[in-house]
Chain A
Amino acid sequence: MTMHRRELLKAGAALGASAALPKFAFAQAPSFAPKPGAWRQFRVVTTLEIAKPNGKAQAWIPVPSVNESGWFKSGDSKWTTNGKAVLKRDPKYGAAFVHVEWSDDNAPQRIEVVSDFSTQDRAVDLARPGKAAALSEADRKLYTAPTALIPTDGIVKETSDKIVAGAGTDLEKARRIYEWVVENTARNAATRGCGIGDIAAMLKSGNLTGKCADINALNVGLLRAAGIPARDIYGIRVAPSKFGYKSLGAGSATITKAQHCRSEAYLSGFGWVPLDPADVRKVMLEEPPANLPLSDPKVAAARAALFGSWEGNWLAYNFAHDIALPGAKGPAIEFLMYPQAETAAGRLDCLDPDNLKYVIEAKDVTAA
């Protein structure tokens, strides 16, 4: 009961702020209050080109494949290419991608993929458990299992146990883990080095810095270690934030570098609950004048909102981990958020747009 009252107070405070204040008062009382109600349709165009293939090349381009009736509907994906392209899905998570292979190594190798989807804000009323459908046994197993990047034993389990000690409900445990991640993933100059890319290494090295794929993966791993189903959702920001948070939206129609992953926990009665501690840290780092403390009102507003709600300005590609790309020579990838490509010389660097050229454009096509 205490828990519910606290949630209610928080929700009440956030609603009060947004309802009572006119928009120009933002500087005094920042508000970040996503509320479902208005679906938006988006079209995203991914163009990829391998300029110097030096032999046969292939590419894998993620397309929207999340379908959650309350907040995301994946539409069709179509493509134009001088190669041979097929829409494929990873068997475990159903993550969809266009797999294209080129046979002519002299021509420039090019593909354009056009994907439609619609989405809206999400907000779960954490004060009142609803009647969300129970999670299937198969999904519960899938979303509490470890992955290559997210071990759930050893130091992850020990850390999780410490954080949730004494907490009663799953909601309370998830809240504790979220707050712990928000408070402990700051950059610390005294830490030794970098993780090797998994959350156990982050915890062991003491360096809890990183981006969404690190911070939200840590959130997911700590939840799974506590027995709470949780998952990462890999995606990309497609529009600016309507709440004035520059760091939480796409800066322009070109979203080539706007990839972002969010996370969810499955809480009995509430269903999948949106969580994005990584974006709280992003607000702290990037919102002007930058390097904001946790006490900054803008940070506090985002922190309160991003446990239980998020804004529908983002494309959710998939929930997948450890994907073996069909036909690939390189190793399985930990997540499919960036276009991937290989030539005879091996896997191309998806973060090096000079060698693997791709451009992603997004447009709000909601009918007026």
Chain B
Amino acid sequence: MAAAQAAESATFVPWTRGERPPFKLDDLDRQAVALEARPGQLVLVHFFATWCEPCRDELASLRRLVERTDPARLRVVAISVAEVDARVRSFIEKVPVNFPILLDRDRAVARSWEVSALPTSFILDARLQPRLFIERDYDWDKLDVAALSISLSRLSPAANHVATVQSNQRLEDSQ
């Protein structure tokens, strides 16, 4: 029951609003980073802000996800929304992460990706098509990357709904 409730309160839903515009944003070292497709690699695009309480806890679980995942299978990109570089930099100095932090200084990317709440995460397939998204915090320790990878590669975006339900059940059960 507990698992079912957790799944109900924090579940990915299929993204049905098509492709999102590509972006190029500075990272904390002021290097412009663009999202590039790599064969077989899923991308987790995570929007957050340092002032958003649930976002802070989530960064640690994203860090553990990267630690335990083959980088060829999944890449994590976090995007800070509408914050000054200095604030994000000093926050990340205290809570180091092992994935790039990009700076959406004027909310342009958050807006074009239709992000209305923080945190929000998208899972993109290897062609950078958004397939799943979640508009709240998520416990990334529960994510079964292998299962997710298989279900997304097998199914077309139109069949996402089935994939979501199946992958979520498996993810929750496997913990």
Residues of A at the B interface (CB closer than 8 Å) are: 148, 192-198, 200-201, 204-205, 207, 330-332, 345-352, 355
**Is chain B's binding surface mostly helix, strand, loop or mixed?**
loop
* Alpha-carbon distance between A330 and B26 when the two chains are bound, in angstroms: 12
* Alpha-carbon distance between A198 and B118 when the two chains are bound, in angstroms: 12
Whether the pair B81, A196 counts as a contact (CB closer than 8 A) is yes
Whether the pair A194, B51 counts as a contact (CB closer than 8 A) is yes
**Is chain A's binding surface mostly helix, strand, loop or mixed?**
loop
Whether the pair B118, A196 counts as a contact (CB closer than 8 A) is yes
Give min CB distance, B34 to chain A, whole Å. Answer: 19
Contact A352 to B87, CB < 8 A, known contacts A194-B51, A197-B81, A197-B107: yes
Residue from B87, B105, B137 whose CB has the most chain A CB atoms within 10 Å: B87
Give min CB distance, A143 to chain B, whole Å. Answer: 23
Whether the pair B84, A346 counts as a contact (CB closer than 8 A) is yes
* Chain A contacts for B2, CB-based, 8 A: none
Whether the pair A346, B85 counts as a contact (CB closer than 8 A) is yes
Residues of B at the A interface (CB closer than 8 Å) are: 30, 47, 49, 51-55, 81-82, 84-87, 90, 105-107, 110, 115-120, 135-137
* Alpha-carbon distance between A199 and B107 when the two chains are bound, in angstroms: 13
* Alpha-carbon distance between A222 and B87 when the two chains are bound, in angstroms: 31
Nearest residue, chain B, Cβ from A355: B86
Nearest residue, chain A, Cβ from B10: A192
A-B contact pairs, 18 of them (CB 8 A): A192-B135, A192-B136, A193-B52, A193-B54, A193-B119, A194-B49, A195-B117, A196-B47, A196-B118, A197-B81, A200-B116, A201-B116, A201-B117, A204-B117, A347-B85, A347-B86, A348-B86, A355-B86
Interface residue from A332, A349, A350 paired with B106 (Cβ < 8 Å): A332
Give min CB distance, A166 to chain B, whole Å. Answer: 28
Give min CB distance, B168 to chain A, whole Å. Answer: 17
Whether the pair B118, A195 counts as a contact (CB closer than 8 A) is yes
Whether the pair B107, A196 counts as a contact (CB closer than 8 A) is yes
Nearest residue, chain B, Cβ from A332: B106
Contact A196 to B115, CB < 8 A, known contacts A331-B106, A349-B90, A352-B90: yes
Nearest residue, chain B, Cβ from A155: B116
Interface residue from B52, B87, B105, B135 paired with A349 (Cβ < 8 Å): B87
Nearest residue, chain B, Cβ from A356: B86
